[in-house]
Amino acid sequence: MVLLLKSAKIIDANSPFHHQTKDILVEDGIIKSIENQINKETNKVIELNNLHLSPGWFDSSVSFGEPGFEERETLQNGLDTAMKSGFTHLVLNPNTNPVLDNSSFIQHILNKSASHIVDILPTGALTERSEGQNMAELFDMYSNGAVAFGDYKRSINDANLLKIAMQYSKSFQALIQVFSLDQHLSTDTQMHEGPVSTALGLKAMPRIAEVIQLKRDLELVKYTDAKVHFCCISTAESVSLIEQAKNEGLDVTCSVALSNLYFTDKVLESFDSKYKIWPPLRETSDQEALIEGLKKGIIDMVTCDHLPLNIELKNTEFEHAEFGSIGLESAFGALNKLFGLDESVEFLTRGKSRFNATRTHIDVEQPAVLSLFDPDINRTFSEEDIHSKSKNAIFEGEDLKGKVYGIINNGKYYVSE
């Protein structure tokens, strides 16, 4: 397959062609030439209005449904959604039914997705059925392609179990994912504890529910010297704790959910369940600390935390609605609006190596792992923009900036017409 991209502006701080508009020739998945003008007979010429491209985008926390929750999302449609949203690599969460807690499930996911243009990096459950009682078969899953281990959005109450998992994972250099939340301080809560929750009369989760558990988990990292990724931190103090841990030399990374960067708990005054996410939307002081932490590199990556849910689980009374939102389709537009083009691309491309994926750059003889987009189109995100089977979109109705054209990866391409 020979592709020719015409007049594409390259956005890649690690490329010698950063911010230059060039023609790019791709042969069999490899960039063969980058010139001011290339005239060659090819299988496909990609020539699009205001075409920009960057290294392929990555997300460290994506959920689909298959197996078990196909009514929410199938593997095929989920990957197609990621493709249409500009993502070349996804870390897939294990929260299916049954939970991805053994090597046969990991192999099934990899085999079923092997021919797709988007690369799946599966996470295995840390404990059997993600119940927090018995450690799952970590090494067996790792040997069969799992890139990390964690119980999606579930903290491990048993400190000894988590300690043993950290110690065991060190023997084969595996990454443990931890979601830090004290369950006793968060049971049956509906939102962040603060002036808004008081005014609304909703049972709320205090910041310390995250902070107390994060302090414990960081002590376990210090004791075991394990490699750990903290998923979706949401408070200002958590940012400070991660910064301190990194300064002490601990092998830790963390992510933040895009929704926590964009919204605060004020939007919950509408009682609209689309804003009900986990961890919950916090106050402006937390939002500002998270944004600053991401910019400074204390927070390593941003995730859209894509979580499709059945309509009956979201379109109900607020107190009974499930937590979660889809986010792949709106990720670039929301980030680009918040941070601008260069920072958005940086946030969408960093973190791959933590999950055993190679971070590429745009240069001759490099793999063509590319996201294609127009960063200047202003649009209101609506249901027409949703490719997921589920429609629980927190960004629906928001004015976002940017349009995704498609991706190039694995020697294949997808470009929207």
What letter does residue 371 receive in the DSSP assignment? E
Distance CA 301, CA 279 (A): 16
Distance CA 410, CA 256 (A): 28
**Number of CB atoms found within 10 A of residue 338's CB:** 18
Token pair, residue 53, equals: 């491209």
Distances from the Cα of 358 to the Cαs of 249, 351, 354, 390, in angstroms?
23, 10, 9, 31
Q: In sequence order, what are the beta bridge partners of 96?
A: none
Q: Give the total residue count for the chain.
A: 417
Distance CA 335, CA 34 (A): 28
Locate tokens 């018995």: which residue? 134
**Number of CB atoms found within 10 A of residue 43's CB:** 11
Distances from the Cα of 154 to the Cαs of 127, 183, 266, 393, in angstroms?
10, 9, 26, 22
Of 203, 211, 217, 227, nearest to 161 by C-alpha is: 217
Residue 305 designated active-site: yes
Of 141, 72, 10, 2, nearest to 391 by C-alpha is: 72
Of 82, 114, 153, nearest to 388 by C-alpha is: 82
Token pair, residue 112, equals: 């079923």
Of 263, 309, 295, nearest to 153 by C-alpha is: 309
| The one catalytic residue among 12, 119, 265, 305 | 305
88 touches 138 (CB < 8 A): no
Q: Which residues are catalytic?
A: 305
